[in-house]
Chain A
Amino acid sequence: MILLTLRALTSYWRRHRGQLLALLAGLTLATALWSAVQAINGQARSDYVRAAQQLGGTEQTFLARADGGAIPMDSFAQLRRAGWRVSPVMEARVVVGNLRLRVTGLDPFTAAPGTLPPAMAQQLASDPASVMTAPGRGFAAPELVAQLPAESLLPPLDPTPGLPPREIVTDISTVAALPDAELVRLSLHPQQPRFQTPLEQIAPDLVLQAGTGRVDATRLTDSFHLNLTAFGLLSFAVGLFIVHAGIGLAFEQRRATVRTLRALGVPLRTVMIALLVELLCLALIAGGAGVLLGYLLAAALLPDVAATLRGLYGAAVGDGLLFRPVWALSGMAMAVLGTGTAAATGLWALARMPLLASARPRAWSRVSERALWMQAAFGLVLLGLGVVAAWALDGLVAGFTLLGGLLLGAALMLPLSLALVLRLGRSQARSVLGAWFWADAQQQLRGLSMALMALMLALATNIGVGTMVSSFRLTFTGWLDQRLAADLYISARSEEQGAAITDWAQASRLRLLPLVSAEQTLSGRPGDIFGVKDDPLYRDSWPLIAAIAEPWDALHDAGAVLINEQLARSAALWPGQEITLAPGWRVPIAGVYSDYGNPKAQAIVALPELESRFSGLPRLRFGLIAPDTESARTQLQDLGLSQGQITDQAGIKAFSLAIFEQTFAVTAALNVLTLAVAGFAIFTSLTTLAALRLPQLAPVWALGKPRAALARLELLRAVLLAGLTYVLALPVGLALAWSLLAVVNVEAFGWRLPMFLFPSQWVWLGLAALLAALLAAALPARRLARRSPADFLRVFANER
């Protein structure tokens, strides 16, 4: 009986292939966007794990400072003397051309067996001197080796498949010779002596951790993945609006069939099981296609995402995408769950439909104003909850709860807002046709509200994310101009070379700005203190966002400090307050500067002040103001500097902007896709509802309005509704932008960006929305214009 019932129910799709195609396409798109994001996140996370395994063999435990800072050599020596079997791991950051690399040094003598990368262990076994004596030997991914110029600070490299894309592994002595190398963690041998002096007694600032010990980028990459996931979820939700509209209409249109089946003796339970089987099949077909499409989409987007993660956060992600059953299954599960969610109300209504209820589809019955008010009230509650959550909760959860409440709340309030506007239009109509037009639009609202809500979500997201990205771009570009004011940036190999550069600059009468820093915990966060020379460059261009009067005078003459925005916001420290930079060194804050892209806390003091507090800080990095950069570069090379040691300002800016553009290339792609999905939702609704509209249109046609004129009115109505939705989406989008800039960014990255408005973008988006509505309505309108008069007449024959 189930098969027969299923056949009767599914025969509907044979007669409504367009509707079936739209439904499957909606679900496929929704699943594809979700799966793509999951695939990207899954690939990135698996690359992190792979990197951890390559660098440390298996999962290791290690000792690191809780604040993520460098471990003093003394602590290491004391631990070894106390019998702790620990192996030192040093790291240095090196910039070669446009590549920012991490060089990790391992100690073959103390490393636990199986914890060295296999290629390194092999080389050590066959020719230990080649690894442990100068110039040493490095191991890096083949694609990285191919990118690096032969001449650089680095040792000769062996291509080693499987290593992270921006990482070089070498002997610890090779890393120790690099500028800024520091001891970052001590890996623990799995077998330790039975009796050990407790860790708290030897090195109380060290804690036991598992994994790779790289805590610096974790928070940022997590934020990035969370952002992607949120976008994926939003796209999925927009897709579900299509599915909801499609399935809901299919159920509405089959009310008569269901009633007939039951009257002929099919139990309700059998009908419900058949519908569930049908839904499951649809979900599996569309889910499978969605997962496949998602894989292709992810493969296309992954290079940009990987570049972002590598460039911005230094995280190890490759460009290749592997098929993983986990995200494929998660995609299928989302398709099934989404279909179930989208169909729940329809199924419930059918299950509760009395056997003798009217079988006429209810889609066009005028929705009661009370229901609209209830829905809007629920939306308002969601909005309120979002605001309360943002105020009461902390972290990204607060930010995303605010976004969710704002978007869902506004979407739920849309139908009432539109109904009120349409009622106003109706009251203002002067002609009979005008009155009918507005009244008919009101009646269409119920059938179209889902699609319009999807459109609103997409438009608001576009406005919100677009405003955020453009504000970010504008701020970031200006900030780069301010921060990278020197013409050349130079890295010296040694202090001697640093001194030679200083002498040369003095002799050449060029302004040389040493970039000297010391690692220091600042208000409980890992950070750096920089010392700067008193130079007009800083006074004129440093990007201060808050400051006392004459901050640079206070810095150089009164020992005050400037701190970065991340530190100011996390520690709630602002100009006029004081900060402790080191034990016994408490200074007033003269200003706060923006410092985008830096996960650490940072402070700037006068250079002599820093050097008096931290003796022996090497002067290895410099900014140079040179009117003729080419001549300066040539002269520096004459001093023995390689090309890789000199980077010009334009190169760094171009590199930084490229990273920025890559970061938001993915966002832009998802933005466009979400809008496309929403446009498709309108098309689906209009197409599937077209047949049900005949009873509304037939009387007007019979009274003398030609089919072509009716079709034009259909087009006008679709454009009107999309236009109204756009107008209502605009404030929601701006509120979304504000939430992203003022709440989510601060929670995720620690800095707040100023919000700029871009009206020209809104105009283009508005035109895109109207065009999407016009395109979506074009086919149903064309069909209406060409519809046979017999179809209209049938309405009057009471044969429906």
Chain B
Amino acid sequence: MIDARDITKTYPGTPRAVPVLQGLSLAVSGGETVALTGESGSGKSTLLHILGGLEAADTGIVTIAGQDVGALDEAGRAALRRDSIGLVFQQFNLIPSLDVGANLAFQARLNGRYDAGWAGTLAERLGLSDLLSRYPEELSGGQQQRVAIGRALASRPPVLMADEPTGNLDEDSAARVLDLMLSLVRETGTTLLIVTHSAAVAAQMDRRVHLSRGRLSAPSDAVGAAS
């Protein structure tokens, strides 16, 4: 489902350029859940942005759901994100002027896969049924993160990418949100790539990959220590 080969990315900097990803390769099968761990500044978010078509790699090939991301123009990458990828951000990134119901349905309506029944189920499972007419600013952080997860899953994307989805939440809320996300992902057969610092979160995934100095390495206990 996700196939990245020989990815490099360097950010221009002063006095010299900073290499972030150096010939990195990663393959994730359909329905697999993968945790991407690494120290702060190791390039986890950059890799997620490249895989999600939000940012372009300097070199290498990225294929998502069979589409070569590098070959797509801006509109093509937008279509890929719209149709094939659900994104969950650390800062939630809800649309503040739309209520919870409209936020939940937004991406599904955008790609024409809106299903009122599925949206209702998601709202119910995520505990949002009573909050549909509220606005994001009226919700707690945990509630906002559940809306963001619901928005990503409502459009039934084949791939879900989440960047520190529980990073802003307390331990209990984080555990609840993660449980919900994992159960929904597994029920729908969605491929999940999650960036996290948390060893506990990473432990719940099918596989863990660790990013260090721009390259992927085998998971080790150091992951937990790093967090």
Interface residues of A (CB under 8 A from B): 1, 4, 8, 11-12, 14-16, 256-257, 259-269, 355-356, 359, 797-799
Name B54's closest neighbour in chain A (CB-CB).
A355
CA–CA, A744 to B58, complex, Å? 62
Is the Cβ of A14 less than 8 Å from the Cβ of B97? yes
Is the Cβ of A4 less than 8 Å from the Cβ of B106? yes
Q: Mark B77-98, 1 if CB is under 8 A from A, else 0.
A: 0111111010101000111111
Query: Given contacts A264-B81, A356-B54, are A4 and B110 in contact (CB under 8 A)?
Result: yes
CA–CA, A268 to B89, complex, Å? 20
Is the Cβ of A1 less than 8 Å from the Cβ of B97? no
Given pairs A259-B93, A268-B78, 19 additional interface contacts (CB within 8 A)? A1-B110, A4-B109, A8-B95, A8-B97, A8-B98, A11-B98, A256-B96, A260-B95, A263-B81, A263-B93, A264-B87, A265-B79, A265-B81, A265-B83, A266-B78, A267-B75, A356-B55, A798-B168, A799-B141
Chain B residues with Cβ below 8 Å from A356 are: 49, 54-55
Query: Given contacts A1-B110, A356-B55, A798-B168, are A262 and B78 in contact (CB under 8 A)?
Result: yes
CA–CA, A16 to B96, complex, Å? 11
Chain A residues with Cβ below 8 Å from B98 are: 8, 11
7 pairs across A/B with beta carbons < 8 Å? A8-B98, A15-B96, A265-B79, A265-B111, A267-B74, A356-B54, A798-B168
How many contacts A-B (CB < 8 Å)?
Answer: 73
Q: Mark B143-171, 1 if CB is under 8 A from A, else 0.
A: 01000000100000000000000001000
CA–CA, A69 to B56, complex, Å? 79
Is the Cβ of B96 less than 8 Å from the Cβ of A264? no
Query: Given contacts A257-B96, A356-B49, are A263 and B110 in contact (CB under 8 A)?
Result: no
Residue in contact with B87 in the complex, picked from A4, A11, A263, CB distance below 8 Å: A263
Is the Cβ of B97 less than 8 Å from the Cβ of A257? yes
Name A260's closest neighbour in chain B (CB-CB).
B93
Is the Cβ of B96 less than 8 Å from the Cβ of A8? no
B107 an interface residue at 8 Å Cβ cutoff? yes
Chain B residues with Cβ below 8 Å from A797 are: 141
- Specify which of B54, B97, B135 lies most central, judged by the most chain A CB atoms within 10 Å of its CB: B97
Is the Cβ of A264 less than 8 Å from the Cβ of B106? yes
Chain A residues with Cβ below 8 Å from B78 are: 262, 265-268
Is the Cβ of A12 less than 8 Å from the Cβ of B97? yes
Query: Given contacts A256-B96, A260-B95, A798-B168, are A266 and B75 in contact (CB under 8 A)?
Result: no
Chain A residues with Cβ below 8 Å from B49 are: 356
Residue in contact with B94 in the complex, picked from A16, A260, A269, A798, CB distance below 8 Å: A260
Is the Cβ of A11 less than 8 Å from the Cβ of B97? yes
Is the Cβ of B80 less than 8 Å from the Cβ of A265? yes
Chain B residues with Cβ below 8 Å from A263 are: 54, 81, 87, 89, 93
CA–CA, A656 to B130, complex, Å? 75
Name B151's closest neighbour in chain A (CB-CB).
A264
Least CB distance from A78 to B in Å reads 80
CA–CA, A41 to B54, complex, Å? 55
CA–CA, A772 to B110, complex, Å? 46
Chain A residues with Cβ below 8 Å from B96 are: 12, 15, 256-257
Is the Cβ of B110 less than 8 Å from the Cβ of A265? yes
Chain B residues with Cβ below 8 Å from A359 are: 93
Is the Cβ of B97 less than 8 Å from the Cβ of A15? yes
Name A14's closest neighbour in chain B (CB-CB).
B97
Is the Cβ of B82 less than 8 Å from the Cβ of A266? yes
CA–CA, A8 to B106, complex, Å? 9
Residue in contact with B82 in the complex, picked from A256, A264, A355, CB distance below 8 Å: A264
Query: Given contacts A264-B87, A265-B81, are A355 and B55 in contact (CB under 8 A)?
Result: yes
CA–CA, A566 to B26, complex, Å? 88
Q: Mark B107-124, 1 if CB is under 8 A from A, else 0.
A: 101110000000000000
Name A791's closest neighbour in chain B (CB-CB).
B137
Least CB distance from A10 to B in Å reads 8
Query: Given contacts A15-B135, A355-B54, are A266 and B97 in contact (CB under 8 A)?
Result: no
CA–CA, A28 to B102, complex, Å? 32
CA–CA, A1 to B78, complex, Å? 12
Chain B residues with Cβ below 8 Å from A15 are: 96-97, 135
Chain A residues with Cβ below 8 Å from B102 are: 8, 11
CA–CA, A11 to B80, complex, Å? 26
Chain B residues with Cβ below 8 Å from A262 are: 78
Name B111's closest neighbour in chain A (CB-CB).
A265
Name B139's closest neighbour in chain A (CB-CB).
A799
Chain A residues with Cβ below 8 Å from B141 are: 797, 799
Name B112's closest neighbour in chain A (CB-CB).
A1
CA–CA, A797 to B93, complex, Å? 16
CA–CA, A392 to B168, complex, Å? 66
Least CB distance from B176 to A in Å reads 18
Chain B residues with Cβ below 8 Å from A798 are: 168
**10 closest cross-chain pairs (CB), A and B:** A265-B82, A11-B97, A265-B81, A267-B78, A12-B97, A260-B93, A267-B75, A15-B97, A264-B107, A265-B78
Chain A residues with Cβ below 8 Å from B95 are: 8, 11, 257, 260-261
Least CB distance from A360 to B in Å reads 10
Chain B residues with Cβ below 8 Å from A264 are: 81-82, 87, 106-107, 110, 151
- Specify which of A12, A264, A267 lies most central, judged by the most chain B CB atoms within 10 Å of its CB: A264
CA–CA, A8 to B99, complex, Å? 10
Least CB distance from B57 to A in Å reads 14
CA–CA, A199 to B107, complex, Å? 82
Chain A residues with Cβ below 8 Å from B110 are: 1, 4, 264-266
Name B144's closest neighbour in chain A (CB-CB).
A799
Query: Given contacts A257-B96, A257-B97, are A269 and B106 in contact (CB under 8 A)?
Result: no
CA–CA, A265 to B151, complex, Å? 13
Name A271's closest neighbour in chain B (CB-CB).
B78
CA–CA, A266 to B97, complex, Å? 17
Chain A residues with Cβ below 8 Å from B151 are: 264
Name B140's closest neighbour in chain A (CB-CB).
A799
Least CB distance from A13 to B in Å reads 8
Q: Mark B42-53, 1 if CB is under 8 A from A, else 0.
A: 000000010000
CA–CA, A260 to B96, complex, Å? 10
Chain B residues with Cβ below 8 Å from A267 are: 74-75, 78-79
CA–CA, A15 to B102, complex, Å? 14
Name A354's closest neighbour in chain B (CB-CB).
B55
Chain B residues with Cβ below 8 Å from A16 are: 97
Least CB distance from A664 to B in Å reads 48
CA–CA, A256 to B89, complex, Å? 12
CA–CA, A268 to B109, complex, Å? 18
Least CB distance from A199 to B in Å reads 70
Chain A residues with Cβ below 8 Å from B106 are: 4, 8, 264
Residues B35-74 near A (CB distance < 8 A): 49, 54-55, 74
Least CB distance from A656 to B in Å reads 60
Least CB distance from B181 to A in Å reads 18
Least CB distance from A330 to B in Å reads 35
Chain B residues with Cβ below 8 Å from A4 are: 106, 109-110
Chain A residues with Cβ below 8 Å from B85 are: 265
Name A254's closest neighbour in chain B (CB-CB).
B97
Least CB distance from A58 to B in Å reads 60
Name A5's closest neighbour in chain B (CB-CB).
B110
Name B109's closest neighbour in chain A (CB-CB).
A4
Name A270's closest neighbour in chain B (CB-CB).
B78
CA–CA, A261 to B54, complex, Å? 12
Name A16's closest neighbour in chain B (CB-CB).
B97
Chain A residues with Cβ below 8 Å from B81 are: 263-265
Chain A residues with Cβ below 8 Å from B144 are: 799
CA–CA, A263 to B52, complex, Å? 9
CA–CA, A356 to B53, complex, Å? 11
Q: Mark B197-208, 1 if CB is under 8 A from A, else 0.
A: 000000000000
